[in-house]
Amino acid sequence: MDLDRLVADAREGVPRAVGRLISLVEDGGVGGDETPLRELAAALAPYTGHARVVGLTGSPGVGKSTTTSALVTALRADGRRVGVLAVDPSSPFSGGALLGDRVRMGEHATDPGVFIRSMATRGHLGGLAAATPQALRVLDAAGCDVVLVETVGVGQSEVEVVALADTTVVLLAPGMGDGVQAAKAGILEVADVFVVNKADRDGADATVRELQHMMSLNRREVSGPSWRPPVVRTVASSGQGIDELVGALDAHRAFLADHGRLAEGPRRRARAEIEAIALADLRARIRDLSGALGSDSALGELATRVVAGELDPYTAADEVVASVRA
Amino acid sequence: MDLDRLVADAREGVPRAVGRLISLVEDGGVGGDETPLRELAAALAPYTGHARVVGLTGSPGVGKSTTTSALVTALRADGRRVGVLAVDPSSPFSGGALLGDRVRMGEHATDPGVFIRSMATRGHLGGLAAATPQALRVLDAAGCDVVLVETVGVGQSEVEVVALADTTVVLLAPGMGDGVQAAKAGILEVADVFVVNKADRDGADATVRELQHMMSLNRREVSGPSWRPPVVRTVASSGQGIDELVGALDAHRAFLADHGRLAEGPRRRARAEIEAIALADLRARIRDLSGALGSDSALGELATRVVAGELDPYTAADEVVASVRA
């Protein structure tokens, strides 16, 4: 694989090259060798820093993909180049998503100003926390003005991914108990913009009220001028409210710019990426520790002793940490 | 706090003592001091190893809590002591779930043979992967025959939690596109038993068929005799099918026993717990690394250099790992 050629093609916006580079990131290198990822990171560095990242999250069924698709239409009408990353939680068992979100984005498939990718990390080095910033760098270098990251909004890892965005949109829909679900998953607190989608349905007003009530209970403590997340009503399937959503995204961007905070997102992504890669390295070292008996890993032997009641798990963990640091 | 007293009371099944010990686990000790957790692990060790752990997972809206509640009723009728852990993904931002599942379990609230707890980990040492096995040990020592762990089944961390069970139940419901959602979240592969709940609704047959089709595509590769996950139809709200579900759980248990595999679950839990505690320790060391400039953490300084294009994230991570190991 000629990495320089691929990077050059990706910068020209050749979809196949963009796709191959994201696959490389997703697979964690070639056959477990991370060397190409290191080279890719170095090769892309000069061409990044332009794209803004918008995260979209919410429970299954609120209409994330439909909203994402409508946003793509609106941003394209505005002449902006758009990337979409649909992040599927990885399966630790079979290695990946069976079905992608690509199918639902069919209408944009032939637009050369749009790149769409489903991502599943296959338990590779650093998982989503590392792979997502890497894929964003590819799309950034490919000339995207905006990258939309769509995740299922229930779960720790997914909250972590969406927290990497410059602007985070949390979607709810009427009548699904979503307010509660959202709060439980911790996504209420990460929202810069709320969308109540399917706003033509019964219960939309109640959802908006519940949201405003929860926000009043749950103010983020921030230093300096604070951003109050607006609540936008949409019917994504008909495009209703999507222009208002674009306006809200731009207003948040302007707020960050006015307060000298545009660098926060990129810095957060870099920090998460470095930490994720370092932790994955350390985790691999933990799993590679060989046991005293030779027939099992050290971790497996320690687990057996904990189950037998000979050792408590904290002391076992101390032994693991000491071995990794030795 | 007199830990020995609490452990003794918990062993007698005093609900308040059980609750306080789980709170201790959930909070990650007292004021960040993990010493009591170490002592607790040691104090409980002699009294554990009896309870079997059943995980229940599925997308929001499939009826997990209703099914869990119906299972509790059936197991109680059978004279078994039951614990319920409802695991809420933690909020990394505000620290925890706003609303617990406890409210939905009201009918069992006064039964002394049932312990019910919602759990949210507050980003503490090891997160859910460490806290869940610890809470299970408390319920085990309190004399539970069965502990039901209910999690929202979308997300990496939640899949990891449910994979700690001895037997894992994956719930679906007709007409929610759940087959697809389940597969995306990787929970299809962890199922020992499938439940199609709300089986009186239109589309139940289609859901069962879709599931069987996916299973045929997606066989786990196992050595030795393999367990084929049964599909149980339930209407949890009326109790229909719950006895069959109990039967399926017992059949899976018997299968494990017949093949000498009963120790796998406890060993898997111990392994995950040790690894999670060790990784949390290493993560804390990463975050504590002080930077060369003194005004920022080393991680923050490295992130700034990555954003500036002076350093690639892999080299930055190498520096982090080297510092942790130094």
**CATH class, B48-260 region:** alpha beta
What angle is formed at CA B187 by the lines to CA B85 and CA B232, rounded to 5 degrees?
Answer: 80
Partner-chain residue, chosen from B98, B133, B302, that has the shortest CB–CB distance to A184 = B98
Residue B199 makes CB contacts below 8 A (sequence gap 6+) with: B174, B233, B234, B235, B240, B241
For chain A, the farthest-separated pair of C-alpha atoms sits apart, in whole angstroms, at 66
Q: Which residues of A touch B156 (CB under 8 A)?
A: 89-90, 92, 127-128, 155-158
Residue B232: strand pairing partners: B195
**CA dihedral over A254, A257, A259, A262, signed as positive or negative:** positive
Task: Tell me which residues of chain A, numbers 227 to 246, contact chain B at a CB-CB cutoff of 8 Å.
Answer: none
Partner-chain residue, chosen from A157, A274, A279, that has the shortest CB–CB distance to B306 = A274
pLDDT at A209: 87
C-alpha dihedral over B181, B186, B188, B193, to 10 degrees? -120
pLDDT in tens, B83-126: 998 875 533 332 233 333 344 466 777 788 898 887 765 555 56
pLDDT at A143: 95
Contact A218 B94 (CB under 8 A): yes
Give B77 to chain A, closest Cα distance, Å: 30
Question: φ, ψ for residue B165 (rounded to 5)?
Answer: -75, 160
Going by DSSP bridges, is the β-strand pair B193-196/B231-233 parallel, antiparallel, or unpaired?
parallel
What angle is formed at CA B308 by the lines to CA A14 and CA A137, rounded to 5 degrees?
Answer: 25
Helix (H) or strand (E) holding A321: helix A313-325
Q: Which of B312, B319, B323 to mutate to test the interface with A (most CBs of A within 10 A)?
A: B312
Alpha-carbon distance of A311 to A318, in angstroms, equals: 11
Q: What is the DSSP string of B4-25?
A: HHHHHHHHTT-HHHHHHHHHHH
Total residues found in chain B within this entry: 326
Token code pair at residue A130: 């590392």
Alpha-carbon distance of B45 to A15, in angstroms, equals: 57
Residue A54: strand pairing partners: A148, A167
Give A136 to chain B, closest Cα distance, Å: 13
Contact B299 A61 (CB under 8 A): no
Helix (H/G/I), strand (E/B), else coil: A174: coil
CB atoms within 10 A of CB B294: 7
Alpha-carbon distance of B67 to B239, in angstroms, equals: 8
Contact A313 B273 (CB under 8 A): yes
pLDDT at B315: 92
Residue of B nearest to A155 (CA): B155
Token code pair at residue B178: 């759940």
Q: Which residues of A touch B89 (CB under 8 A)?
A: 154-156, 159, 184-186
**CA dihedral over A40, A42, A47, A53, signed as positive or negative:** positive
Partner-chain residue, chosen from A46, A90, A299, that has the shortest CB–CB distance to B186 = A90
CATH number of A49-262: 3.40.50.300
Q: Any chain B CB within 8 A of the CB of A249?
A: no
pLDDT at A156: 57
- Sheet containing A52-58: give its strands across: A114-120, A82-88, A146-152, A52-58, A167-172, A193-196, A231-233
pLDDT at B94: 29
Q: What is the DSSP string of B278-322?
A: HHHHHHHHHHHPBPTTSSSBHHHHHHHHHHTTSS-HHHHHHHHHH
Q: Which residues of B touch A163 (CB under 8 A)?
A: 92
Q: Kindly give the confidence (pLDDT) of every residue in chain B, 326 residues in length, as a single tens digit, with 9 standing for 90 and above.
A: 689 999 999 999 898 899 899 988 887 766 667 788 888 988 888 888 899 999 998 776 788 888 999 999 999 999 999 999 887 553 333 223 333 334 446 677 778 889 888 776 555 556 677 788 889 999 999 999 999 998 765 555 566 777 789 999 988 888 765 455 555 546 667 889 999 999 999 989 988 888 888 777 766 555 556 898 999 999 999 999 999 999 999 999 999 999 999 999 999 999 988 998 898 889 889 988 887 777 778 999 999 999 888 888 999 999 999 999 98
Eight-class DSSP state of B229: -
The residue ranges of every structural domain in chain B are 48-260, 289-325
Alpha-carbon distance of A208 to A21, in angstroms, equals: 41
Q: Which residues of B touch A156 (CB under 8 A)?
A: 89-90, 92, 127-128, 155-158
Residue of A nearest to B306 (CA): A270
pLDDT at A91: 33
Q: Any chain B CB within 8 A of the CB of A314?
A: yes
Partner-chain residue, chosen from A41, A42, A155, that has the shortest CB–CB distance to B157 = A155
Contact B283 A279 (CB under 8 A): yes
Contact B49 A315 (CB under 8 A): no
Give B250 to chain A, closest Cα distance, Å: 23
Q: Kindly give the confidence (pLDDT) of every residue in chain A, 326 residues in length, as a single tens digit, with 9 standing for 90 and above.
A: 689 999 999 999 898 899 899 988 887 766 667 788 888 988 888 888 899 999 998 776 788 888 999 999 999 999 999 999 887 553 333 223 333 334 446 677 778 889 888 776 555 556 677 788 889 999 999 999 999 998 765 555 566 777 789 999 988 888 765 455 555 546 667 889 999 999 999 989 988 888 888 777 766 555 556 898 999 999 999 999 999 999 999 999 999 999 999 999 999 999 988 998 898 889 889 988 887 776 778 999 999 999 888 888 999 999 999 999 98
Q: Any chain A CB within 8 A of the CB of B213?
A: no
Q: Which residues of B touch A37 (CB under 8 A)?
A: 314
Contact B176 A37 (CB under 8 A): no
Q: Are B202 and B174 in contact (CB under 8 A)?
A: yes
